[in-house]
Amino acid sequence: MKNNVPSISVVVLCYRSGETIASFVEPLAKSLEEYDKNWELILVGNYVENSGDNTPAVVREIAEGDDRIRAVTLVKEGMMGWDMRSGLEAARGKVLAVIDGDGQMPLEDIVRGYKILKEGNWDMVKAYREERGDGLWRKLISNVFNGLFTVLFPGLHCRDVNSKPKFIVREVYEKMDLCSGDWFIDAEIMIQARRLKCKIGDFPVVFHQIDSRPSFVKPRAIWEFIVNLLCYRLKEFRFWFQTSK
């Protein structure tokens, strides 16, 4: 690894991707190289013990071929939020980006979003899903969740809470205290960005359908979202009350 700090660290969530993650990482690295040679990739291949998941071995092998690529392969202690936090903690870049490695969000959106952040002097930039190919049920859930979020956390420019990629400048990330271990991590990022009064930019993306595997988001996640929204709303009331004294 070079001694200089990377301009951008891209955290790629690779849970149960197996061999398919290689076809995502190779063009992603190439697109970053063409735009800014000072980059790093953090491949998060955390796994459930004794599950037979070969993703950890795959991402470690990919990382061996380039010192700008690192693998995080830990026994899972949580869901997607825990994976994301473990990747962000390992990242060293001045800008931190997060994207799923399943191809639903095109890898080209990384360079797009990075350019928008740099050119607009934003604290944070995120995608919103202008087109979605994941079915009416998922769209309905997303619309309900985003509507509740807007009501409970007004004043935040955020059209699609859970969408990725997300880009955060390091100075802002270091002021956050992320603790979600589940699917609420995206909302927690936005809530803390609201608290920090961040300048947030966004851009549209196409969200593709994946037929090769079922969704990892289970029906109970809907209730977890709602409960977490209410809990965090109470936390924000407490925070503003304490800081206004």
Domain membership flag for residue 48: yes
As for how many domains the chain has, the answer is 1
Distance, CA of 71 to CA of 222 (rounded, Å):
31
Domain membership flag for residue 37: yes
Rg over CA atoms, the chain: 17
What is the C-alpha end-to-end distance of the chain, expressed in Å?
Answer: 47
pLDDT for position 218: 60
Domain membership flag for residue 1: no
Handedness of CA 24, 25, 28, 34 (dihedral sign): negative
Residue 188 sits in which domain range?
Answer: 8-243
pTM: 0.91
Tracing tokens 């930039």 back to the chain, one arrives at 125
Domain membership flag for residue 2: no
Query: C-alpha angle with apex 189: 19 to 154, nearest 5 degrees?
Result: 135
Residue 109, domain CATH: 3.90.550.10
Residues 163-211: tens digit of each pLDDT: 999 999 999 999 999 999 998 999 999 999 999 999 999 999 998 876 5
Q: Of all residues in the chain, what percent are helix, strand and coil, respectively (each to 5)?
A: 45, 20, 40
Domain membership flag for residue 3: no
Residues 53-110: tens digit of each pLDDT: 999 999 999 999 899 999 999 999 999 999 999 999 999 999 999 999 988 888 899 9
Domain membership flag for residue 163: yes
